Structure 1
């Protein structure tokens, strides 16, 4: 089965499993799990920050970062299609007591002018005062687009000059770094906190990291405990993370190449996709409007050995990862093109896609 739903479906490598089974363990609550301590120190050094903290998921990392940086009752600026805003179950309001202030970006990026206007709007007595800017890199809903460290620094500078803290949702930040040939630390320096996921392109079974100053990470540690994220023998997670940082980062370039290949093949078959816009490992294909049976497309692909997320809002989302080879990318592209042609002119059939949105 060729699975293009997400890079979250990657399974741990044999080396990761071996490292997990042999990890030296302690109790992370008491800060005496040596594998966690070593991993967190390694991450902090890699990102060029003072401290880092292991969490269960990227969403948890975003939550505890925001709660450490933004007082309840304030607002946070997010790009209108940011993962935090549209795909994390509404935690800013339900958990953190924060009001999202969405700003429409271009290619997932907020302009300096739009950011300045959003900050000004938050200064009204009728608005929740703005305390935090949340950025996303790579930007999921924009097709894995990359924000350069320079562009990121401009936005962070505007926010800081206006008294806002800045959080970077860097779930796929290593993809961004590999895409531009830059050090991952270049993306982290302008912001107050950063999260990245271990369980996407880095192929770990679970886990994410929050990084920042020692003072802020101590605050996030308290919030992690409050929302139920305290861990005990967490070295089993950190052990896989150590292997991932050593073996999985450089190879992300293969995923980017396969995504570009997939997009090029689909474009050449007549589908609406722009290979030049593919910067990392996410491909969005615009499907025909009118009579086009998306449910048929989804079911036929599955029947023929390719898993895709059900199309959403007229787009098909495809994600490459460690378990997709070049030949599989070619096979999948040919099948997608053939099935899309068969789906043209068909009336939309009914199918239950509950819980299957392409959000990760």
Structure 2
């Protein structure tokens, strides 16, 4: 009998939208890029790209960086002095997934605030600012927001709420940084210009290497002064580049050709969530606003069996974390892939549950007497 894995010649990779590979057209654009030296600010492709991005987001200046984490880091270093604190949603990417740079590199004390669906409430922000201003606390200098919110399942903070939080922060003397790693997903999902999400923020980071399909790179955007300071910090942390036009060329292609198609990823995520829910998995379909789906798993679930069985059928996922599995749609996952993957996930999930129950029953049975 021919196995399922032999029938499928390609992998359906649902680990992240970072696994996307550049299209042939993007590689062609990279190969034809006019290059200079970015350190000397004479790479024409980088200069043109940074100007386009600043105009697109309605801000004064932009700077190309290697990654979203680097972008968040250099923005924080530019906006807040060492020894101060920053307010951040408790499960934000900066707080839980960026290797602790706020304390280890930037010298900042985090003040996490529990949000709802990844969104900090206005009252909660005001309380956090007041508490951080107490004499025995590190003084607050920065508010970090995230849009879309990864750990909340790609949830969107609408532009009006971003603006309201930014106004509260500014009124209290704080700067505002937006980790907009997937900000274009938010813009496409709501049908709003991306600049609507950034009007009141001081700096913004967005990734090229996620849904936009570039092999690497991110961009930071802000006032001319903030970006000038961020450029200095980029050099400090080893982010200076030379012929960076090959990255910028990929970014220019992505912004012209890869943004609107994000709606397909959102549709596929909703399809995946619906099919998994209908197969009795714990999925909140209404919470799927962009391209991330979370499926709950029992605490005694056989994770290893589940993953190995999925891999045998050509499906790759991240290990479960905090009682749930994250599944991310992207350009290299089609609607037909979603149908196949959801069927296999449901089937494998049921198998893993039965194996877990069987193992529990076996361990609970009295010792046989011979």
The TM-score normalised by the length of structure 1 is 0.95
Structure 1 unmatched runs, 5+: 350-360
Distance 1:239 1:246 in 2: 11
Distance 1:259 1:28 in 2: 38
Give the structure 2 partner of residue 51 of structure 1: 61
Whether the aligned pair in 2 keeps the contact of 1:52 and 1:209 (CA below 8 Å) is yes
Deviations 1:285-330 (CA, angstroms, capped at 9, x unpaired) = 01134x4211111111111100000111110100000000000011
Distance 1:342 1:245 in 2: 43
Distance 2:294 2:31 in 1: 38
Give the structure 2 partner of residue 353 of structure 1: none
Runs of 4+, deviation exceeding 3 Å? 345-349
Q: 1:40 aligns with which of 38, 50, 58?
A: 50
Q: Does 1:294 align with 2:323?
A: no
Distance 2:104 2:308 in 1: 35
Distance 1:262 1:74 in 2: 43
Provide the aligned length of Structure 1 versus Structure 2: 348
Give the structure 1 partner of residue 15 of structure 2: 5
Displacement of 1:189 after TM fit?
0.5
Q: Pick the structure with greater CA Rg.
A: 2
Give the structure 1 partner of residue 34 of structure 2: 24
Q: Does 1:339 align with 2:348?
A: yes
Give the structure 1 partner of residue 88 of structure 2: 78
Distance 2:336 2:134 in 1: 56
Q: 1:195 aligns with which of 194, 201, 205?
A: 205
Give the structure 2 partner of residue 241 of structure 1: 251
Deviates more, 1:122-131 or 1:243-252: 122-131
Distance 1:338 1:298 in 2: 12
Distance 2:58 2:134 in 1: 37
Distance 1:125 1:158 in 2: 21
Give the structure 1 partner of residue 323 of structure 2: 314
Structure 2 unmatched runs, 5+: 1-10, 360-370
Distance 1:334 1:296 in 2: 17
Q: 2:275 aligns with which of 249, 265, 281?
A: 265
User: Aligned with 1:154: secondary structure?
Assistant: helix
Distance 1:32 1:303 in 2: 49
Give the structure 2 partner of residue 108 of structure 1: 118
Displacement of 1:346 after TM fit?
3.2
Q: 1:141 aligns with which of 133, 147, 151?
A: 151
Q: CA RMSD in A?
A: 1.0
Q: Does 1:209 align with 2:223?
A: no
User: Aligned with 1:134: secondary structure?
Assistant: strand
Displacement of 1:345 after TM fit?
4.0
Deviations 1:84-138 (CA, angstroms, capped at 9, x unpaired) = 0000000000010101110111101111111111101111111100100000000
Deviations 1:191-240 (CA, angstroms, capped at 9, x unpaired) = 00000000000000000000011111000000000000000000000000
Distance 2:198 2:166 in 1: 11
Q: 1:283 aligns with which of 293, 299, 308?
A: 293
